[in-house]
Amino acid sequence: MSNNNNNLSDLNFDFSGKTVVVTGASRGIGREIALAFARDRAKLILTARSTEALKPVAQEIEALGTEVRCIALDQRNVKTIRDQIEPLGPIDVLVNNAGVEEVRDTLSVDEALWDKVVDTNLKGAFFVAQAVAAKMAQAGGGAIINLASLTSFVGVPGAVPYGASKTGILGITRAMAAEWAPMGIRVNAIAPGYFETDMTSVFYEDRAWVEKMISNIPSGRLGELSDLTGAVEFLASSGANYVCGQCIVIDGGYLAKI
């Protein structure tokens, strides 16, 4: 049974006048985070591999009365990243969410899969953050929230490239935070636990696996996407002005138990 009584309207964040970039915003975690910021009156810039994929969430944001812009962004192409971000106006918040995952036996991982996952999740995240941070530095600061994972902390069979990329996210988060804090740029991360999304749905097809996971989560349930938004908005808000280089694990107590 779910004990989730989260009410987004009770969090009282206000991002009026702020511009928030959310990468990988067409579905799943990115979509949920974008909608949360829209409800709290931020102006949104959304990225995905195609603007067509962003149309449904953009329409939802517009229905909330919030300004939104959609950009096609290839996370694996550094020139594209720089060309798309440089012309943008001031950016207050970056949620570095875009990522891919493919489950494959480690002995079967080839170079193409490694490059696809690591270049998207780690290389892409680094260069997006770099491009945005250059704008933030000129404006006097901002907040960057990177998306880590439980695989940043524990090994998951069949997810070696993904785990490598997400462990790397912790490394760049801490190094960026240490280097950019003097410029007023706070860099932090969140690490979601077990949340069913389009990207992770392959795991949830095995009901026995799902039940085993739930039995290991002290909160007694899988995560719901709304469980993530409060932590992201907190890290983006003035309430986290002295929080820098940290990773908030949002997993219902899973890591604490093991």
For 76-107, how does the pLDDT look when each residue is reduced to its tens digit (9 = 90+)? 999 999 999 999 999 999 999 999 999 899 99
State the DSSP H helix or E strand holding residue 210, giving kind and residue range, or none if neither.
helix 207-215
Choosing from 162, 194, 242, 254, the catalytic residue is 162
Residue 7 in this model has a pLDDT that exceeds 60: no
Looking up tokens 């959304």 gives 46
Tally: H helices and E strands in the chain: 10, 7
- What is the residue extent of each domain of the chain? 11-257
With 0-12 CB in 10 A as exposed, 13-18 as middle and 19+ as buried, what is 207?
exposed
Between CA 244 and CA 62 the distance in angstroms is 32
Query: Is 254 noted as a catalytic residue in this protein?
Result: no
Any residues with CB less than 8 A from the CB of 112 and at least 6 apart, and which? none
Which one-letter DSSP state was computed for residue 154?
A: S
> Looking at the DSSP assignment, which residues form a beta bridge with residue 185?
142
Q: Helix (H, G, I), strand (E, B), or coil: what is residue 197?
A: coil
Whether residue 12 has pLDDT greater than 90: no
User: 197 is written with which tokens?
Assistant: 């999304």
CATH number of 11-257: 3.40.50.720
**Residue owning tokens 């036996």:** 105
Task: Return the closest-CA partner of residue 217 out of 188, 250, 241.
Answer: 250
Place of tokens 């694990």: 249
pLDDT on residue 86 = 96
Do 252 and 192 meet the contact criterion of CB atoms below 8 Å apart? no
Can you tell me the distance from the alpha carbon of 184 to that of 141, in angstroms, rounded to the nearest whole number? 4
Q: Report yes or no: 69 and 45 within 8 Å, Cβ to Cβ.
A: yes
Q: What is the pLDDT of residues 162-208, one digit of tens each?
A: 999 999 999 999 999 999 999 999 999 999 998 887 767 777 788 88
pLDDT of residue 96: 98
User: Given this model, what pLDDT does residue 9 score?
Assistant: 45
User: What's the CA gap between 186 and 235, in Å, rounded?
Assistant: 9
**For residue 74, what are the CA distances in angstroms to 71, 78, 81?**
10, 8, 7
Q: 242-245: long-range contacts at Cβ-Cβ below 8 A with a sequence spacing of 24 or more?
A: 243/186, 243/188, 244/177, 244/181, 244/186, 244/187, 244/188, 245/173, 245/174, 245/177, 245/178, 245/181, 245/187, 245/188
Name the pTM for this structure.
Answer: 0.93
Per-residue pLDDT of 125-137, as tens digits, reads 999 999 999 999 9
